[in-house]
Structure 1
């Protein structure tokens, strides 16, 4: 595993093609309160790039170019939250997207465990730690433990996607999954617009 930490933007020479795994770390999980602190990216080659925002300064033209590239599929785990944060703080709409959590819920109906740690253990026999999930991501400097944790959130998403794609095809749910992925940016927009928990499709 190789991890490179950058401050405030991705270097222009760092490029991706085809697919890029993406994750975010924030001060908390409240979209009305908690700012973006870290964006993690990986090409699925064992290398992770972390862009750290120790202050709420989000110019980052190189990072925005990668995230907004329509030729790149952005692979997330629980894309809904990450998409909302990236749109709010970076002003970027990420499309097309793939969400391993949504895919898992569509095909792993034999379990209610769809967290990243569960998928890594069950599908690719990799154990990852979530001990740093609740920590100060807005600190001026990240600890080695935080860096390792953040990297682990993107290093395995390509492999998970490959396994889930096989399962989706096997169960005849690939088209349904693709439709869900296409809607995710709009689901994030609903969260930002004030409909985080309300099901607007419900009868009552």
Structure 2
């Protein structure tokens, strides 16, 4: 495994293929309080690319171009948050997308454990460490431990997707999952518009 650190943006000409695993690191979990700091990506080849963003300008045209490229599927775990952060700070609507957390909830109905660590353990046979999850992602320099943590969040998503796709197909829920993924950027837009705590489809 090699972790490549990029300052500000992805390098020109980098081709990460038709399916790219994507995750982000922020200073917290509130959209307008906590800034977007880092975006990590992997093509599924065992390497990861970690972009330390220039705040507050977020001048990253190559990254933005990738996020909106209709020919590249962006693969997330709990993409609702990352997609919302990209909408808010980068000004782009990320499409098309696939979310392994949604796929897990549709396919792995025998459990309520759908966090990344549990899903990767079962679907990819890898034990993830979450020790750096709450570290300072806005620091002037990222530590090697932070880089390794960021990489681990995207390195196994392709393998997880492959397993979940098999399970979705087996249970007859592939098309339902696809419709959920299509709606996901709109769900993130609802979060940003103030409906983050409300299910507008609920009766109450």
Q: TM-score range by the shorter chain?
A: over 0.9
| CA deviation map 1:64-107 (0-9, x unaligned) | 11111010000000000000001111111111100000000001
After the TM superposition, which parts of structure 1 deviate over 3 Å for at least 4 consecutive aligned residues?
none
Secondary structure of 2:30's partner?
A: coil
Q: Which moved more, 1:165-174 or 1:52-61?
A: 52-61
In 2: Cα distance, 1:40 partner to 1:198 partner? 30
Q: Which moved more, 1:48-57 or 1:166-175?
A: 48-57
Indicate yes or no: 2:93 matched with 1:93. Answer: yes
CA contact (8 A) 1:8 1:58 kept: yes
1:179 is matched with: 179
1:129 is matched with: 129
- For structure 2, which runs of at least 5 residues remain unmatched after alignment? none
- Structure 1 residue 54, shift from structure 2 partner: 5.7
Indicate yes or no: 2:120 matched with 1:113. Answer: no
2:35 is matched with: 35
| CA deviation map 1:123-182 (0-9, x unaligned) | 121011001000100000001100000000000000000000000000000011000000
**RMSD (CA atoms):** 0.8
Instruction: Provide the TM-score with structure 1 as the length reference.
Output: 0.98
In 2: Cα distance, 1:114 partner to 1:174 partner? 18
In 1: Cα distance, 2:61 partner to 2:126 partner? 34
- For structure 1, which runs of at least 5 residues remain unmatched after alignment? none
- Structure 1 residue 13, shift from structure 2 partner: 2.1
1:55 is matched with: 55
- Structure 1 residue 14, shift from structure 2 partner: 1.1
After superposition, residues 153-168 of structure 1 pair within 5 angstroms as 153-168=153-168
CA contact (8 A) 1:67 1:94 kept: yes
